[in-house]
Amino acid sequence: MIPVSEPLLDKVALSNVAEAMSTGWISSGGRYIEQFEQSWAAYCGANYGVAVSNGTTALKVAVAALDLEPGSEIIVPTYTIISCVNAILEAGCKPVLIDSDADTWNLTVSQIEPQITERTRAIMVVHMFGHPVDMDPLMDIARRHKLFVIEDAAESHGAEYKGRRVGAIGDIGCFSFYANKIITTGEGGMVIMKDQGLAERSRSLRNLAFRSDRRFLHTEIGYNFRLTNLQAAVGVAQVGQVDRHIEIKRRNAKAYIERLRDIDAIRLPVEYPWAKNVYWMFGIVLDDKVKFDATEGIRKMAARGVETRPFFWPMHEQPVFHRMGLFENQRFPVAERIARRGFYLPSGLTLTEEQIDLTCDALRDCLN
């Protein structure tokens, strides 16, 4: 079975972990945490980084750090991972959904402004599968309406919008360092920002909201979302390899495009002129003339020795939210279509040219 993704780790990571273990700094203190925070924030173009336990907790810290009043509305794409909406709900806010762009699979910027009300306080941007959202018009909307912008860049490490790396364009950016991400700490995440006040509040929330004057006296609810020094030791090594990892992703994507561009039965990922797509995962969407959907396509590919993964299922079709009385009778046709007809091919950093050939042959066989 050709795996859908595998991490790429080097001897520097192993050496850093061994050093952390030998000194006894294996928990949430140690020099690698601060080094990881500083190096990743600097790489993205931010002033501050706050390492957390995973990408989901990064989103929760980001929303909570904005200190929005209960009932505030946050605009978010329906086509995303459930972590985005969970973070909004846990902060006592209301998610307001919009549909996706058929080409990039990102949120449709033109749909944002009609959804803004007197209760809207933020826009949550999700840079999907490595391609950035069109940020200039989005930031213009946010400035005119005095809205915060939260960037979920979990899938887009190093992706660029007009030469600026995503995650540091809005007010606060969120990253995941799960094992299938472009750089990884196994589990782990980070929030980055340029504002010192947001950084200080994020650090407090990450660490149970301990007060500086009295450690075990609390004036608000915080979380235990700390990253360990062992994970950060891996992260420091991974930051040093991020450009190499992006080069591999883009090379693999080019190889897929060259082999699959003649198939009119699938839609391939795009790269707009203003974007640098890092192709975290190489997704395809089946044309309507294909007689099977993504679920059947995944089964067919597995039968031919290729592991794949489905696209996200839209938030407005999640049973858990329907039981909460959310998003009932809402329709978002683009998100619904790509959820049903989209899946991604093996895209790991250890993927070989031969495996790409075999994957493309398997896909052609399925379509034929």
Judged by DSSP in three states, 150 sits in strand
Q: Which residue has the tokens 């946050």?
A: 74
Residue boundaries of the structural domains of the chain: 11-239, 242-367
How high is the pLDDT of residue 254? 98
Judged by DSSP in three states, 334 sits in helix
Q: Which of 360, 140, 136, 121 is nearest to 255 (CA)?
A: 360
| Tokens of residue 167, six digits | 């995650």
Specify the pairing of strand 172-176 against strand 148-152: parallel
Query: 172: which DSSP letter?
Result: E
How high is the pLDDT of residue 213? 87
How high is the pLDDT of residue 182? 98
Judged by DSSP in three states, 303 sits in helix
As a residue count, the chain comes to: 368
Judged by DSSP in three states, 154 sits in coil
How many Å apart are CA 121 and CA 118, to the nearest integer?
A: 8
How many Å apart are CA 301 and CA 298, to the nearest integer?
A: 5
Whether residue 120 contacts residue 96, with contact meaning beta carbons closer than 8 Å, is answered with: yes
CATH class of 242-367: alpha beta
How many Å apart are CA 15 and CA 33, to the nearest integer?
A: 16
Question: Would the CATH topology of 11-239 be identical to that of 242-367?
Answer: no
Domain 11-239, second-level architecture: 3-Layer(aba) Sandwich (3.40)
- Which pLDDT tens digit goes with each residue over 260-318? 999 999 999 999 999 999 999 999 999 999 999 999 999 999 999 999 999 999 999 99
How many Å apart are CA 89 and CA 60, to the nearest integer?
A: 9
| 208, containing H or E segment | none
pLDDT at 211 over 90: no
Q: Which residue has the tokens 């794409």?
A: 77
- Which pLDDT tens digit goes with each residue over 130-188? 999 999 999 999 999 999 999 999 999 999 999 999 999 999 999 999 999 999 999 99
Q: Which of 118, 156, 117, 164 is nearest to 139 (CA)?
A: 164
Neighbouring CB atoms inside 10 A of 20's CB total: 24
